[in-house]
């Protein structure tokens, strides 16, 4: 179960075990492996508003389902590369 941990650039961070990490409404939930990346997703959410879930959320969900065993391919998707770029995440 997730428990409150800390903040990252004004976002609330909840540590949760597992391989999935996501950002929604300024909250990061996950194993805290890619905070700059999730910060990039927050910037996307601010830019896209309600389209964040529609565009980024569905693309991510698609990737989680079909590219689960292919991390490089997952992070090469446009939505993920863009989050890396916005958040300053280096891979
Ligand atoms: Zn992502």
Q: 74-83, pLDDT tens digit by residue? A: 999 999 999 9
Over the stretch 39-77, which tens digit does the pLDDT of each residue have? Answer: 999 999 999 999 999 999 999 999 999 998 999 999 999
* 41 CA from centroid of ligand 1 (Å): 7
Instruction: Please identify which residue in the block is written with the tokens 């194993």.
Output: 31
* 49 CA from centroid of ligand 1 (Å): 16
Tokens, residue 57: 């959320």
Tokens, residue 2: 């997730």
**Average pLDDT of the chain?**
92
Instruction: Please identify which residue in the block is written with the tokens 């996501």.
Output: 22
Where are the chain's structural domains? 3-87
* 80 CA from centroid of ligand 1 (Å): 5
């Amino acid at each position: 179960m997730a428990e409150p941990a800390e903040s990252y650039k004004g976002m609330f961070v909840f540590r949760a075990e597992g391989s999935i990490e996501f950002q929604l409404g300024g909250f990061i939930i996950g194993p805290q492996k890619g905070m700059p990346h999730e910060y990039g997703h927050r910037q996307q959410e601010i830019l896209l508003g309600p389209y964040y879930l529609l565009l980024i959320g569905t693309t991510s969900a698609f990737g989680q389902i079909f590219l689960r065993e292919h991390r490089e391919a997952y992070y090469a998707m446009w939505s993920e590369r863009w989050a890396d770029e916005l958040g300053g995440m280096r891979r």
